[in-house]
Chains A and B, each alone.
Chain A
Amino acid sequence: MTKITSLADLRRIKSDVEVKMNLRERSESPESMVQIRVAMATCGIASGAKIVMDYLVNELDKRSIPAVVTQTGCMGYCYAEPTIEVTRPGQQPIVFGYVDSKKADQIIEKYIKNGELLDGIIPVNYENIEGK
């Protein structure tokens, strides 16, 4: 095993394991970063939600955008699967439907990075008990 002989060595190890630890680090303070929930019920998975989730996790990391990606159950928009719910810090969640990798790319570039809205938003038709 290579010995650690400097602070730079420590930092190198740190960045190597960072990818792995980020998942845990970030979920300590999810309010401060973009939170994405991917609907992963049977309908969602059948329409490709798993591919979208993989894409989101990998791309957000590649583009160095701190975000928490979690899976959730059926949101009820089975007609529009795969659906994802994106919450920017301090804002109301927005649900996007018919998300594939291409759409996910647009969501990252436009909405997550700049807050620009784009087509395919599903109006939220319920209230969350958490806010009550």
Chain B
Amino acid sequence: MTQYKMHLLVCGGTGCRASESELLFQNLKHEILNKGLENDVQVITTGCFGFCEKGPIVKVMPDNTFYTQVKPEDAIEIVAEHVIKGRKVHRLLYINPETEQHVSDSKHMGFYRKQLRIALRNCGFIDPENIEEYISRDGYAALAKCLTEMTPAQVIEEMKKSGLRGRGGGGFPTGLKWEITSKSQADQKYVVCNADEGDPGAFMDRSILEGDPHSVIEAMAICGYCIGADKGVVYIRAEYPLAVERLKIAMKQASEYGLLGKDIFGTGFNFEIDIRYGAGAFVCGEETALIHSMEGLRGEPTIKPPFPSVSGYLQKPTNVNNVETFANVPVIINKGAEWFASIGSEKSKGTKVFALAGKINNVGLIEVPMGTTLRDIIFEIGGGIKDGKKFKAVQTGGPSGGCLTEKHLDIQIDFDSLTAAGSMMGSGGMIVMDEDDCMVSIAKFYLDFTVEESCGKCAPCRIGNKRLNEMLEKICEGKGTMHDLDLLRNLSHVVKDTSLCGLGQTSPNPVLSTMDNFMDEYLAHVVDHKCPSGQCKALLQYIIEPENCVGCTACARNCPVNAIAGERKGVHVIDQETCIKCGACLEKCKFNAVFIK
């Protein structure tokens, strides 16, 4: 076998592919061939490195050089300089924003220093389309160990001891879920992988499926062994084409090797996996709605009980786990429950993947031990707030979560501490906001999303959220009253308490948490008719400063609604009643006479 001296790892995640990493990969291959280095240097596509902010990423092994924002045409220079002459291409190295110095390798990047990668262990390290690379990282060893050395009860016991909790949002103990499903009596049971990742801004499940699909397949088979199921189904959004493709390749390879199919490891255990596509409805992340969608019915939730563990897919006992949860399973079996339980906080074990987005320097995917503080995540790993602005809040848990502020920065994040602080873990989306964001508008943004995504089956969610949204709109327009604020809070509680499923039970959270933490902003909108961060258009006023106005008439000529009056060479005035706040006058004025109040 050829022994390569250098590996060039090119990120093949969706983010980097959108910035032409595929072409970059081909160019690198081509250059290597051109220079006759194909026996010395191997070019490999991997899954997501997590540092999406600066993609496409190329990592050079063995010296750990980390190149960022590499363009397809940079391939020639990388090969000529780094590969042949051993000189790093300086201009492509990551620059530490604090010291403004080039960082030569990933070991010295703040972004990676505090991370601990368990679920993402293989993402950005192996070629996801090559099962052998997965096997070389102890892949399928956990399945072999379970099938040949352990009884289902022992595996479940191990899972319970590990303290792994569902990473999809609920935080239900995984071992316990498996145990309940294993105890249901039926001729057929199912393992379902919930890959219907719907939170705006969260993409960990997609990255795992794109970067390490075999870990999910292996874990589903282990789960099948434990609960007595020989069929697994992955429910995945059709809008994740790359994840689907990689998953299919992985399933094919696993079947060819006999790691899926009949009589796995000669133990008589059979397991097959199917794929079902979702159309991208947020509510289908809820397990009962997901199951209905899989059956070809409308994606609507039903009341629990009966829980899916008793009557799920096709009325058979079904165990539903999320992608990230599954990705943790093989490691727990290989390294042992004690090892896993030694990581994390008291009640939340292991690590959690977070998707950092919003006004933060290092947008991307990170994995940290449970119990890491928000401050570490945002300022150490995330590199702080963009453009040196001030941190205002961070929304965790997507549209079902709440916002946390400055005073929460030192909370050690886990399932329970986030709930106690009025937010939730959710699937791990983190949207960071700075001083320019209006919190009333943020609450409205999330409500817009839930109104759109509500399935409409139950009245509190269908009508209640719509009314909440209308009230927020009224407040954003400066027409809200103090009575509206009371109504907003009351109705939020009603929607929370009476909705059928998790979607409605959590959708008012952004409203309640912004009211709790930023009441002053609500009051500014209602009492003073002002938006402190200048985001709510209706509350702005475009004014012409008479001293600066020279009467050039540029503003008046460009005003689409003829709201500006004034003689040539005389001072102009904007009629606030007619003004639609489009900003055209501000743009056209060459004398800085137009400003926003």
Contact = CB atoms under 8 A, between A and B. Distances in A.
Interface of A: 1, 3-7, 10, 13-14, 16-21, 23-24, 26-27, 30, 39-42, 53-54, 57-58, 61, 68-73
B297 interface: no
Contacts of B266: 5-6
Interface string B56-89: 0000011110000000000000000000011100
B85 A41 contact: yes
A41 B85 CA distance: 6
A27 to B, nearest CB: 4
A26 B136 contact: no
Contacts of A3: 257-258
B64 to A, nearest CB: 6
- The secondary-structure label for the interface of chain A is helix
Q: 10 smallest A-B Cβ distances: which pairs? A: A3-B258, A27-B62, A71-B86, A17-B136, A7-B144, A21-B136, A70-B63, A5-B266, A40-B86, A17-B132
A24 B7 contact: yes
A40 B7 CA distance: 17
A20 B44 CA distance: 12
Contacts of A18: 136
A13 B131 CA distance: 10
Contact of B64 (A13, A27, A42, A61): A27
Contact of A17 (B64, B133, B141): B133
Most buried by B among A10, A13, A18, A23: A10
Contact of B62 (A30, A42, A53, A54): A30
B144 A27 contact: no
Nearest to B137: A21
B305 to A, nearest CB: 40
B256 interface: yes
Given A10-B135, A69-B5, 14 more contacts: A4-B259, A4-B265, A6-B266, A7-B144, A16-B1, A16-B132, A17-B133, A17-B135, A19-B3, A20-B1, A21-B137, A23-B7, A53-B5, A70-B62
Nearest to A26: B62
B3 A5 contact: no
A19 B136 CA distance: 10
Interface residues on B, range: 20 to 34
Contacts of B148: 6-7
Given A3-B258, A5-B265, A17-B135, A73 B86 contact: yes
A5 B147 CA distance: 11
Contacts of A6: 144, 148, 265-266
B4 interface: yes
Contact of A30 (B4, B64, B145, B259): B64
Contacts of B1: 16, 19-20
15 contacts: A1-B256, A10-B144, A13-B135, A13-B136, A14-B135, A14-B136, A20-B4, A27-B62, A27-B64, A30-B62, A41-B85, A71-B6, A71-B86, A73-B85, A73-B87
A26 B133 CA distance: 15
Most buried by B among A10, A13, A24, A40: A24
Interface string B124-163: 0110000011011110110011001000000000000000
Contacts of A40: 85-86
A74 B125 CA distance: 29
Contact of B4 (A23, A53, A70): A23
Interface in B9-36: 9
Contacts of B42: 20
Contacts of B138: 14
B86 A41 contact: yes
A13 B431 CA distance: 43
